[in-house]
Every structure is written in structure tokens, then in C-alpha cells.
Amino acid sequence: EDKVVQSPLSLVVHEGDTVTLNCSYEVTNFRSLLWYKQEKKAPTFLFMLTSSGIEKKSGRLSSILDKKELFSILNITATQTGDSAVYLCAVERNTGNQFYFGTGTSLTVIP
Amino acid sequence: NAGVTQTPKFQVLKTGQSMTLQCAQDMNHNSMYWYRQDPGMGLRLIYYSASEGTTDKGEVPNGYNVSRLNKREFSLRLESAAPSQTSVYFCAAEDAGARNTEAFFGQGTRLTVV
């Protein structure tokens, strides 16, 4: 059965801390892994990863994929209160046009 | 550029009532999806449509029907709402034919069934 597992489920940190969010997956016909940030409403896209070992970076956020060990991490450095959100990991298959989502990691950054 | 638009944003139904959630995208994407999001459960796929005229069941299709009216629109219908269908519903669209694309989400519909 295809599945995507995120850890931790929730995290509380202080501003300025660095956090690492984890996503492991077991999905047949892997196409890509995506990270989304969800605040009050719709998920907003952060990264798409298709190749192992290539880091994607956007400001204080970065992510990398390991297709051998079947996981990805999302790093956030120098966290700010605006980073408080649920971070979702999703894996897309090559067949069936389906995205499989993890349950998300709820991040709270306190001043 | 509106992207993916869902209506309504909020709805309260009585058990047994029916309603249709509307979704429209202006990105000319082939694939569209309906998800529900419940606390601790992540996003679960209800139905998806790989292209106009085709629909397929996802992970949790029971109690729902869908209609891909044309390339732009993908509606989700609850024929007889149940309290277990209280959830936040998201529609998404993707250009599945492109090599590397992400799903674009609507703003969600918060449905309460009492």
C-alpha cells in the first residue's frame, strides 16, 4: 500500500531556531516529491524534488531528496513566527495521476 | 489569474441534504482532484479526473459523486450528507502532461453537516 509518513507530527520552536522536517514514502512508480506550506487556507507550493541529492533552496528553506532511502527533509533556518504552519509532503506517481499526502507537520514558532 | 476557484467557501447542511461543491480552473490543466482534509488525517483523495470526460475513485469516494463537466470545471456532489462528511474540501488542478508540475489548490470549502 502506498504511503507517505511525516515526522514529527508537531513541533514548537523559538524564533531563530533551525528545524528539520522529515518525509518518508513508499510509493510505486515514483514521479516527484512535493512540499507544501499550509496556513489558514489552501496549501501553497514550496518545492518539487525529482532527483536524489540535489538541494533545492528558497531563502531560509531548503529541501533534499534521497530516492535510495525513500525520504526527503525540509530545513528551515533562522525560523520566524511567520513560518508557523502545517507543512505537507506529497508524492506523485507516474501512473494514475495521484498525489499521496502525508498527515503534515504542524510547526509553531514562538517569539 | 484566478487559478483554482471553489464555491462556496462555507456551508452548513442538515443530515440527508444534498449539495454540489463547484470547482473551476483557468489554467487549462488536464487533471483535477477533490480532496478532503480532516484533523490528523492529512489530505485524502476523494475523486480525480485525468482529463475531460474521465473520472476515477480515490482513497475515500463513498458518499460522493463527481462530474467533469468540461476541462475547466470539476464538481463534487453529496447526495445525502452525513455528519462524517464534515470536513474541509479542496479542489486542485495539475498539468499532468508536463514533465514537472505541482498541484494548484483552491481556497477550500468548509462543510459542516449537522
Sequence letter at residue A4: V
Query: In chain B, which residue's Cα lies nearest the Cα of A103?
Result: B42
Output the pLDDT for position B98: 64
Q: How far lies A63's CA from each of A74, A79, A104, in Å?
A: 4, 15, 15
Interval B16-29 mean pLDDT: 95
Nearest to A60 by CA among A106, A8, A18: A18
- Residue from A46, A97, A100 to probe the interface with B (highest B Cβ count within 10 Å): A97
**Binary contact (A45, B102; C-beta < 8 A):** yes
Nearest to A104 among B33, B42, B102 (CB): B42
**A97/B42 touch (CB, cutoff 8 Å), yes or no:** no
Beta carbons of A89 and A23 less than 8 angstroms apart: yes
pLDDT surpasses 60 at B1: no
In Å, how far is A71's CA from the nearest CA of chain B? 18
- Residues B87 and B35: their CA atoms lie apart, in Å, by 10
pLDDT digit string, tens, across residues A78-108: 999 999 999 999 998 877 667 889 999 999 9
A91 touching B (Cβ < 8 Å) = no
Are the Cβ atoms of A103 and B35 closer than 8 angstroms?
Answer: no
